[in-house]
Amino acid sequence: TDFKDMQFVCSAPTPRAFPDPEGPEIAFAGRSNAGKSSALNAICERVGLARTSKTPGRTQAINFFESGPLRFADLPGYGYARVPPATKAAWQALIEGYLSGRTTLTGVVLIMDARRPLTAFDRQFLDWGTRFGLAFHLILTKADKLSRNQQIKALRGVEQEIEGATMQLFSASKRQGIDEARAAIATLASA
């Protein structure tokens, strides 16, 4: 797979707007500000491929990308402290509709800040995904903010709590773990 050739397909605010299910699809999820856009851009070597909205309450959408047969679905970040209930409900409906009904979805990459992984949102998301039978790869990003010892401790901590998922340390700014992430994505896509 050529991760460097990912092209924007469309932005879908409702399940009706999802592109036709084609090829293996990998979803990217994470708490807002976890570093998901930076991780996606580093993996695809494309500045600005994935963007985030820092505006709470803004209309949220799933952004689709593709390269050859492989599709990426960039899910809107979750966990703004002060989102209006209606926005939260819309987010949940969109994500649940996607996770439950997307026949081509073969795996989910969950991006977490290595300094505070497994937030309540992450746990809920893992719970949902697992219930829908999805395989997970966990990326602990911003590893550059931790010492080597702290990085290993963070990874071990998640390993002890989460069974049946692969996981790794990552840093977009230091370009750490990019090859490992690509290999894990390729494995999810071929499952």
Stretch that binds ligand GDP, among 86-94, 116-124, 137-145, 181-189 (CB under 6 A): 137-145
* Strand 7-12, strand 62-67: pairing: antiparallel
The least CB distance from residue 184 to ligand GDP, in Å, is 17
Nearest 5°: CA angle at 38, between 169 and 125? 65
**Widest distance between CA atoms in the chain:** 46
Euclidean distance between CA atoms 29 and 34, whole angstroms: 10
Stated as kind and residue range, the H or E segment containing 104 is none
Stretch that binds ligand GDP, among 1-9, 36-44, 87-95, 158-166 (CB under 6 A): 36-44
Site membership for ligand GDP, residue 166 (CB under 6 A): no
Reduced to 3 states (helix: H, G, I; strand: E, B; else coil), residue 26 is strand
Site membership for ligand GDP, residue 38 (CB under 6 A): yes
The least CB distance from residue 67 to ligand GDP, in Å, is 20
Q: Which of 77, 79, 117, 129 binds ligand GDP (CB under 6 A)?
A: 77
The least CB distance from residue 15 to ligand GDP, in Å, is 22
- Give the position of tokens 């049946």: 164
Q: Which of 24, 35, 79, 129 binds ligand GDP (CB under 6 A)?
A: 35
Q: Under a CB-based contact definition with an 8 Å cutoff, are residues 188 and 107 in contact? A: yes
The least CB distance from residue 33 to ligand GDP, in Å, is 5
* Strand 135-141, strand 166-169: pairing: parallel
Site membership for ligand GDP, residue 171 (CB under 6 A): yes
State which residue, 53 or 104, has the beta carbon closest to ligand GDP: 53
Q: What is the DSSP string of 45-82?
A: T-TTSS-----TT----EEEEEETTEEEEEPPPB--TT
**Binding to ligand GDP (CB under 6 A): which residues in 40-59?**
52
20 token code pair: 């036709």
State which residue, 56 or 101, has the beta carbon closest to ligand GDP: 56
Site membership for ligand GDP, residue 151 (CB under 6 A): no
Q: Which residues bind ligand GDP (CB under 6 A)?
A: 30, 32-38, 52, 77, 141-142, 144-145, 171-173
